[in-house]
Amino acid sequence: MFIDPSDQQLAIAISRTCGWLYFLAWSLSFYPQPLLNYQRRTTQGLTPDFPLLNVFGFTCYTISTAAFLYSPTVKAQYAARHPASPEPTVRFNDLAFGVHATILCVITYSQFWPRLWGWKVRSDVTWRGNRVTTGLLLGGLLGIIVITTMVIAGGDDGRSSHGNGWAWIDVVYYLTYIKLVLTLFKYLPQAVSNYRRKSTVGWSHRQVLLDTLGGILSLLQLVIDSALQADWSGLFGNPVKLGLAGVSLAFDAIFLTQHYVLYAGAREASERRGKPGEMALGGQGDERSPLLPTTRE
């Protein structure tokens, strides 16, 4: 069912409002974690995989979004592949969000070097991600190099909009798929860490709440934009935006369940002790215990 033409102006206004509101919610969601780390003067409780994959993922997201917005070649190739809805469902607020997110993720990951922040160096905190994280980063970089080489080797510098050859839009799509895959894997170490510790201490639930709100608004804007174009293929023409919203909401539900239901007792006991960096966690041992064995490699 499509939006009636008489209501298009209202729908456009709602879409733009959702866009900037999700930009605000998701942008604000990057502040609670580094602020919590700064308050506790440690990144203990936060796996390094999360900010590390975020840095790489949001860099890919920013580049792909900028290409959809400002590259005439990529926009022409998109129109050729999606004739029913030739305009990419990417907005400036998507790019602004990507740039801002990349900067905040770099700041958060830098907190795994406590000397940079004047914090006490702890033996149980490491900046290294696990093997899966390392493999994802190296595999992503290798894939970018391979596909870019294939596009250049195609003979027309990847500018062709038709045919079976590789084009620059394929490189852009690959960047979006990298972001989607990293979004899936970046949450797993943290979810497992919370499960093993039986606690969410050190992992900001405020970040998760804002992320949930942003995911709902982002998905709503994408649906409205596709309806305005009278072609639901616009949903799949922007797979990273659709995928990010779905994956993020699924993991947000897991984290909120951990925080408010499964491990609420450990969280409340920790807060009562008043020393979030050092308290015992409901009989599960000191929070200085190893989080994920693989992060020590």
Q: How is residue 120 annotated by DSSP? A: P
Residue with tokens 């590789």: 166
> Token pair of 42, please?
């440690």
* 124 confidence band (pLDDT: 50, 70, 90): confident
**Residues 270, 281 contacting (CB under 8 angstroms):** yes
Give me the phi and psi of 29, to 5 degrees please. -65, -15
Mean pLDDT of all residues in the chain?
A: 80
Give the closest residue to 239 by CA, choosing from 138, 129, 89: 89
Which residue, among 165, 170, 143, 168, has the nearest Cα to 154 in the 3D structure?
Answer: 165
DSSP 119: P
pLDDT tens figures, 260-289: 999 887 765 565 555 444 443 333 333 333
Distance separating alpha carbons of residues 59 and 165, to the nearest angstrom = 26
Q: What is the pLDDT of residue 287?
A: 37
pLDDT tens track for 35-81: 999 999 999 899 999 999 999 999 999 999 999 999 998 888 888 88
Inter-CA distances, 166 with 68, 110, 149, 224, 243, Å: 17, 37, 10, 31, 23
Instruction: Compute CA 145 distance to the chain's CA centroid, rounded to the nearest angstrom.
Output: 22
- 75, 184, 274 from 12: Cα distances, Å: 21, 31, 48
pLDDT for 144 beyond 90 = yes
- For residue 278, the model assigns a pLDDT of 43
Helices (H), the chain: 8-28, 32-40, 49-70, 72-81, 92-110, 114-117, 131-152, 168-197, 205-228, 233-237, 239-257, 264-273
